[in-house]
Amino acid sequence: MKAIGHKRCSLCSSSRLFSSSVQWISPLHYQSRNSPRPDAPIEIDATAEQVPRKRKYISHESAVNLIKQEKDAGRALEIFNKVSDQKGFNHNSSTYAVLLHKLAVCKKFETVDVVIHQMKYETCKFHEGIFTNLMKHYSKSSLHEKVLEMFDAILPIVREKPSLNAISTCLNLLIEANQIELAKEFLLNVQKHLDLMPNTCIFNILVKYHCRKGDVEAAFVVVEEMRKSRISYPNLITYSTLMDGLCRCGRLQDAIDLFEKMLEEDQIPPDALMYNILINAFCREGKVDRVRKIIEFMRKNGCQPNIVNYTALMNGFCKDGRVGEAKEVFHEMKRLGLTPDIVVFTTLINSFCRAGKVDEGIELLEEMKDKGCKADDVTIKIILGGLCRASRSSEAFDMLERLPYDGVRLSKESYRIVLNFLCKEGEVEKVMELLGLMLARRFVPHFATSNELLVQLCEAGKAADAALALFGLLEMGFKPEPQTWSMLIDVICRERKLLPAFQLLDELVLQ
């Protein structure tokens, strides 16, 4: 049976993404449309006997690999359809799963719906993992109603009731997305129609559900129900969720009491993540010195502090403006053999720059490079902001010019930080130089900044520079305010440069 059967053509047309006129190439010899053409074939003697080459049969495993390797969703669908043309080939759960995953990754959700509809008519056995995977993709795209649709599709297509894992996945995705009402409605339907007997995982999600709502008391009621059920029992995740809920409500002492209860009554050893809940809570309360005692307690009780714990401590010192102590924590981490990541470096660099110690921030940036920890745009923006606040705009400009050649991808915000500072300081020549760099790299300043820049050039009497900047911005789709147009034409006319004025008027008419 073919994969899409008699509906295969409608599948392609309904997605409006895949051209039916594209000639199919054997997946075994598939090349990208943009790949270079092969060399011309060697001429063969016309008298030589032409033996037709038999096409190799593509197995399910090969089909799965071919679809995985294909980056374009349309071509992946073509491969899926073409392999089903083979005599005796019927798609199975694996080929459907890999195709649906590919379509979901590419956000071709309309096509996903058509493929799922066809699955209802297949005779092969499907696994619910196909649908739990799709739930995650829909949740990432904030299509929460579709998450519920994927759950509802399990019973008619898999032909089995959804497992507790599927229920947990769906419920957790809704809670994580803060879709509290949908989660409540989902849970009531599951209890009514599927005769739900919650396990520890579902109980823990319910605890998280109430903590997210800020109703910690209701979360404790769920824990009591968990104990009474005798099916499940509170575990480390349960306590971690409750403690986090208490801390977020400002009930730090209650969280400490619960921590001690967990140790004494249930004898559950805490992990580094649970300690980090307390560390972050103390830092929020401005009690960073207490965090040192928590880390010492961790060591004494056999739980070695990790990079996350030290980062939280360092961040606490940074927020308190205690840059020296934050730096000590940084060096302590390295002495203990912990490798700082980009979050650690960026946290400390931000602290240095805000304290006016930009050079120390730049030194850390160089250390990042030496350690193979690649700086991202957030780190660079912090450095650029620090340089501008220290009136070191030339260094900031040099950094913007150099970093792309070092493999660092800059966003338009990085350029705007420096451009806005230069405009504010009235450094017109540097502004023009940076504008040229931005436009050459296809970055357009903010609308308000562009208008302000043109006005400043006019006020400085630089009519030629203003006209040059305007034409460059116009090519990138920028449309100045009417007052800016008027000012430009007025300045150019006062300088008796009529030809540029006529050119500006022509552009104004075209706009």
Walk along the chain (511 residues) and give the pLDDT tens digit of each residue.
Answer: 444 443 443 333 333 333 333 333 223 233 333 444 444 343 444 444 454 555 677 888 998 999 999 989 999 999 999 988 888 888 999 999 999 999 999 999 999 999 999 999 888 999 999 999 999 999 999 999 999 999 999 999 999 999 989 999 999 999 889 888 898 889 888 888 887 777 888 889 989 988 988 899 999 999 998 888 777 889 999 999 999 999 999 999 999 999 999 998 888 999 999 999 999 999 988 888 898 889 999 988 888 899 999 999 998 999 888 999 999 999 999 998 999 999 999 999 999 999 899 999 999 999 998 888 888 889 999 999 999 999 998 899 899 988 888 888 888 888 888 888 887 887 777 878 887 888 788 777 766 666 667 766 666 666 667 667 666 666 666 666 666 656 666 666 655 444 444 454 455 444 5
pLDDT of residue 459: 66
Q: How many residues appear in the chain?
A: 511
Radius of gyration of the chain from its Cα atoms, rounded to whole angstroms: 31
Give Cβ neighbours of residue 499 (< 8 Å, ≥ 6 apart).
none
CB 469 within 8 A of CB 435: yes
pLDDT of residue 181: 86
pLDDT of residue 454: 72
CA distance 120 to 113: 11
Say whether 92 sits in a helix, a strand or coil.
coil
Crossing angle, helix 377-389 and helix 358-370, to 10 degrees?
Answer: 150
Q: Tokens 């497992």: give the residue.
A: 163
Stated as kind and residue range, the H or E segment containing 509 is: helix 498-510
Stated as kind and residue range, the H or E segment containing 73 is: helix 73-83
Q: Is 460 exposed, middle or buried, given 0-12, 13-18 or 19+ CB atoms closer than 10 A? A: middle
134, 132, 122, 118: which is closest to 159 by C-alpha? 122
CB 58 within 8 A of CB 86: yes
pLDDT of residue 420: 82
Crossing angle, helix 164-176 and helix 180-193, to 10 degrees?
Answer: 160
| DSSP class per residue in 342-367 | HHHHHHHHHHHHHTT-HHHHHHHHHH
Token pair for 312: 């939280």
pLDDT of residue 31: 34
Around Cβ 71, how many Cβ atoms within 10 Å?
11
The reported pTM is: 0.63
